[in-house]
Amino acid sequence: MKKTLFLVCLALLIPSISYANDDSAAKINLVKQVYQEARNPERLSSDILKKYADPSFKKALNVADRAEEGCFDADPIWNSQDPDYQEKVRVSALSNGKVRALLSGRHVDYSVSCSNGTCKISDVGGWKKVLLQCR
């Protein structure tokens, strides 16, 4: 009886584990796409982020665009004032659900949420709170 109960529980658990892995893969692919587009130095990071942002993060980016003084002291995608657009980037899922882009000696953590097969960025490195306070 215990063995049967264990197997039933295991059978119910496996689809949720596989769903979580699919979610992680989608989040990782989204962040990889951001870096693929960010390799073009003519593209603004804020435009790339807006393309993949959820409504609340897009609002924060728009507030920053309207601010009189610059809100970014570094490029949020590269976490650098002078990005190397060809720098190697390794992207992985963290246990807290975030996605980390690992660069040379620094990292950028992305908050990404997925729903119905679509993933959106809800924050990059904690910038959303800062951007909403820009004036």
Asked whether residue 86 carries a pLDDT value surpassing 80, the answer given is: yes
Q: For the purposes of burial, counting CB atoms within 10 Å of the CB of 74, is it exposed (0-12), middle (13-18) or buried (19 or more)?
A: middle
Decide which of 7 and 26 is more confident. Answer: 26
Contacts of 65 (CB under 8 A, 6+ apart): 46
Residue spans of the domains in the chain: they are 2-132
Topology at the third CATH level for domain 2-132: Nuclear Transport Factor 2; Chain: A, (3.10.450)
What pLDDT, on a 0 to 100 scale, did the predictor assign at position 7? 43
| pLDDT one-digit tens code per residue, 89-123 | 999 999 999 999 999 999 999 999 999 989 999 99
What pLDDT, on a 0 to 100 scale, did the predictor assign at position 83? 94
| pLDDT one-digit tens code per residue, 51-71 | 999 999 999 999 988 887 778
